[in-house]
Amino acid sequence: MRIGGVAKRVSLWDAGCPVARALDVIGDWWSLLIIRDAFDGVRRFGEFQTGLGIAKGMLAARLRALTERGILETVPASDGSAYKDYVLTEKGRGLFLVIVALRQWGEDHLYGPRDPRSSLVDRETGAPVARLDLRAADGRRLAWSDTEVRKVARSRTGGS
Amino acid sequence: MRIGGVAKRVSLWDAGCPVARALDVIGDWWSLLIIRDAFDGVRRFGEFQTGLGIAKGMLAARLRALTERGILETVPASDGSAYKDYVLTEKGRGLFLVIVALRQWGEDHLYGPRDPRSSLVDRETGAPVARLDLRAADGRRLAWSDTEVRKVARSRTGGS
DNA sequence: CCAATCTGGTCCTAAATTAGAACTGGATCG
DNA sequence: CGATCCAGTTCTAATTTAGGACCAGATTGG
Residue type, B61: A
Q: What is the largest CA-CA distance in chain B?
A: 67
Going by C-alpha positions, the residue among B17, B23, B9 that lies closest to residue A51 is B17
pLDDT score of B5: 65
The mean predicted confidence, pLDDT, of chain A is 92
Tell me the C-alpha distance between B156 and B61, whole Å.
Answer: 30
Please report the pLDDT score of residue B9 as a whole number.
79
**Average pLDDT for B17-23:** 97
A18-146 has which fold? Arc Repressor Mutant, subunit A (1.10.10)
Q: What is the mean pLDDT of residues B105-125?
A: 95
Which of B9, B19, B127 faces A103 most closely, judged by CB atoms? B19
CB-nearest partner of B33 from A23, A37, A106: A23
Mean pLDDT lowest for which of A60-69, A147-156, B81-90, B124-133? Answer: A147-156
CB A158 within 8 A of CB B30: no
Question: What is the CA A18 to C1' D13 distance in angstroms?
Answer: 37
Domain ranges, ordered by start, for chain A? 18-146
Query: What's the pLDDT score for residue B83?
Result: 97
Task: List the A96 CA – C1 C1' distance (angstroms).
Answer: 63
pLDDT for A151 equals 86
CA A84 to chain centre: 22
pLDDT at A53 over 60: yes
- pLDDT tens track for A58-68: 999 999 999 99
Q: What pLDDT sits at residue A7?
A: 66
* Whether B97 contacts A104, CB under 8 Å: yes
Which of the four pLDDT bands, split at 50, 70 and 90, describes residue A158? Answer: very low
- Answer whether A97 sits within 8 Å of B10, measured CB to CB: no
